Amino acid sequence: MHRRSAGIDRRQFIAGTLLIAGGVAAGASAWRWPQTHPELTVIDRRFAALQDPLHGGGRALLFSADVTSLWRDSLAPLWKQRAATVAGITTAPALFCLEQLARGTRHVVTRRESLGTNGAVAWLIVPVH
């Protein structure tokens, strides 16, 4: 009796990878913030391919998954100095953390949108006036 392995084979892995890449590309082509010019755009390196449509002329900053250093080294100092609009592409849990931290600096998430099955979420944080 032939027993099938519980893992995935090479063909399944490649097909899955192509589906994810296709989802990223589709999300990138459809994603745009209307009339938004963020001062800073922050992007999880896993979603770096999505940065071009989101980038609105401000500074772009790539980070690696954990928002701790992003907050400590970039966002907190920026928002302590002045109110600033920030756009980003992260995972939903990372956005949740940033949303909680932003409240303490009088900034709120005004827009969020899933960019497909890859777990990417595009968002916009703006100052509260």
Structure tokens at 71: 């907050």
Task: Using pLDDT thresholds of 50, 70 and 90, give the confidence band for residue 45.
Answer: very high
Looking at per-residue pLDDT, the higher value among 68 and 1 belongs to 68
CA 113 vs. chain centroid, Å, equals 10
For residue 69, the model assigns a pLDDT of 93
Task: Select from 38, 56, 58, 59 the least CA-distant residue to 127.
Answer: 38
Average pLDDT of the chain, as a whole number = 77
User: Is residue 52 very low, low, confident or very high in pLDDT (cuts 50, 70, 90)?
Assistant: low
Percentage, residues of the chain above pLDDT 70: 64
Residue 125: enclosing H or E segment and its boundaries? strand 121-127
Q: Domain map of the chain by residue range?
A: 10-127
Residue 32 has pLDDT above 90, yes or no: no
pLDDT band at 54 (very low <50, low <70, confident <90, very high): low
pLDDT at residue 21 is higher than 80: no
Tens of pLDDT, residue by residue over 65-120, are 889 999 999 999 999 999 999 999 999 999 999 999 999 999 999 999 998 868 99
Q: What pLDDT does residue 65 have?
A: 80
Alpha-carbon distance of 17 to 2, in angstroms, equals 27
